[in-house]
Structure 1
Amino acid sequence: MSITVHEPEIADVSAETIAALKELPVAIIGDELNRAQMMHAAIKPVARGSRFAGRALTVHCMVGDNLALHHAASIAAPGQVIVADGRSHEDTALWGGILHEAATKRGVVAVVIDGAVRDVAELRDSPVPAYARAVVPAGPHKGFGGEVNGMIQCGGTAVQPGDILVGDDDGVVVIRPEQLAGLVERCRERIANEDKILAGIAEGKTTVELLGL
């Protein structure tokens, strides 16, 4: 079966904005996005301490088949995040050590799979974070087709090519380019406000007092 590779128009986002987003907690970003656009709890980092931000290179896989992921890894550009809809299938690993090394060589900054991965010892040692729904040793098929750079879902959240994904130990949030205006500043203000709350707790105040509950 063939792989369909789309060539969508992608809005420009500055490297400075991506770098600023990488430093922000996913929970804070999600709060500023009305607690929406965060992937399901099942999408977890393979290694603790994971953190990334980058532009989405989307992949739609057939169940148990990773041919489209091979094509995505072959065209990935530096700074991109390979994000795949693996149909939430947990019994076949769509991603492993070989593909991870290939994607790393292309400059990919993270991989997010709504499905399973394997070779986790290698993935944990990599500087490129991997997120997935499950870990399983069973390998994939290749040859049933798929799609690259189309609109997908991953972890219950819609993802379009060029969306900004930010991940940390809590999970992954998806940001549309049109949502970026003022977002970093609002997140920093929220962090400053939370710091004030923590200072109040240190002084002996209760959260009921501090939050006006």
Structure 2
Amino acid sequence: MTIASENTTVFDAVTIDRAVRLGTATLHEAAGRIGALPSQIARITPGQSFAGPAVTVSGPPADNLWLHRGLLASSLGDVMVVTVGGHHEAGYWGEVMAVAARSRGVAGVVIDGCVRDSDALANVGVPVFARGLCIRGTDKDPDGVGGVNEPLTLGDVVVYPGDLVVGDADGVVDLPAARVDEILDAADARIAKEARIMAALRRGETTVDLLDLPKETR
């Protein structure tokens, strides 16, 4: 594989702010329960969330050369989404790469593998989401097979370059670029409906009545 054409998807600041505010669980539901990346991929950098267009990166097991190439293809506001050949027991990302990502304005990093230098990562300012921590090092094989800005699969989700990727305390969701406005509007409506339900609960009504749930088993 090779480095494909540069990601040209741009979301304005209002869209990014809305996506972060609405949250991954609500966006996933509003999108029709699609786009949820594997739950094992979780936030490594405490308190940090992100939203931005995907720059997709794939690389071979125990090798992070393609992540460096992905950094070259990334620019202000992008989110790197990375697969590593299913080999999780290596630290594919650390402080040096995080500082490089910060200098390029990368909004977040999602790795279907492990990272290291967790204390330092928390202070760099680039949100990092991964399967966990691993101190094992990686190679940089110039002949390793990988790619940048080509579709890739994480769990049951196919991530396309330019998709809107959002990460927060609950996990990571991938939203098709062409549906982002529709999904955000549906998420706003969902939030408003939930607010009405919670107000009714505070008045003493029940979830069974409000959600029209069966009161007894058949």
Structure 1 residue 35: Cα displacement: 1.1
Conserved 8 A contact 1:13-1:177: no
The count of corresponding residues between Structure 1 and Structure 2 is 211
Q: TM-score scaled to structure 1, two decimals?
A: 0.93
CA–CA separation in structure 1 for the residues paired with 2:205 and 2:14: 38
Residue 164 of structure 1 corresponds to which residue in structure 2?
164
Q: Aligned in 2, Cα 1:121/1:11: closer, same or farther, shift over 3 Å?
A: closer
Amino acid at match of 2:87: H
Amino acid at match of 2:124: S
1:123 to 121, 124, 131: 121
Residue 137 of structure 1 corresponds to which residue in structure 2?
135
Offset from partner CA, 1:183-213 (integer Å, 9 cap, x none) = 2222111101111111122122211011111
CA–CA separation in structure 2 for the residues paired with 1:51 and 1:70: 22
CA–CA separation in structure 1 for the residues paired with 2:68 and 2:112: 16
Which has more strand, going by share of residues? Answer: 1
1:37 aligns with 2:35: yes
Paired residues for 1:193-212 under 5 Å? 193-212=193-212
Residue 101 of structure 1 corresponds to which residue in structure 2?
99
CA–CA separation in structure 2 for the residues paired with 1:201 and 1:87: 47
4+ aligned runs moved over 6 Å, structure 1: none
Structure 1 residue 49: Cα displacement: 2.1
Residue 147 of structure 1 corresponds to which residue in structure 2?
147
Residue 185 of structure 1 corresponds to which residue in structure 2?
185
Root-mean-square deviation (CA, aligned residues, Å) is: 1.6
Amino acid at match of 1:141: D
CA–CA separation in structure 2 for the residues paired with 1:172 and 1:211: 27
Amino acid at match of 1:74: L
Structure 1 residue 127: Cα displacement: 1.8
Of 154-163 and 69-78, the range deviating more from structure 2: 154-163
- SS of residue in 1 equivalent to 2:2: strand
Conserved 8 A contact 1:82-1:112: yes
Structure 1 residue 9: Cα displacement: 6.6
Q: TM-score scaled to structure 2, two decimals?
A: 0.91
Offset from partner CA, 1:3-41 (integer Å, 9 cap, x none) = 721106744533332222122111110001111111011
CA–CA separation in structure 1 for the residues paired with 2:3 and 2:89: 26
CA–CA separation in structure 1 for the residues paired with 2:34 and 2:184: 16
- SS of residue in 1 equivalent to 2:22: coil
CA–CA separation in structure 1 for the residues paired with 2:18 and 2:170: 18
CA–CA separation in structure 1 for the residues paired with 2:177 and 2:73: 22
Structure 1 residue 153: Cα displacement: 1.5
Structure 1 residue 71: Cα displacement: 1.1
- SS of residue in 1 equivalent to 2:92: strand
CA–CA separation in structure 2 for the residues paired with 1:90 and 1:81: 20
Residue 26 of structure 1 corresponds to which residue in structure 2?
24
Conserved 8 A contact 1:83-1:154: no
Amino acid at match of 1:175: L
Conserved 8 A contact 1:38-1:173: yes
Structure 1 residue 155: Cα displacement: 4.2
Structure 1 residue 108: Cα displacement: 0.0
Of 9-18 and 103-112, the range deviating more from structure 2: 9-18
- SS of residue in 2 equivalent to 1:138: coil
CA–CA separation in structure 1 for the residues paired with 2:43 and 2:86: 16
Identity of aligned residues (%): 35
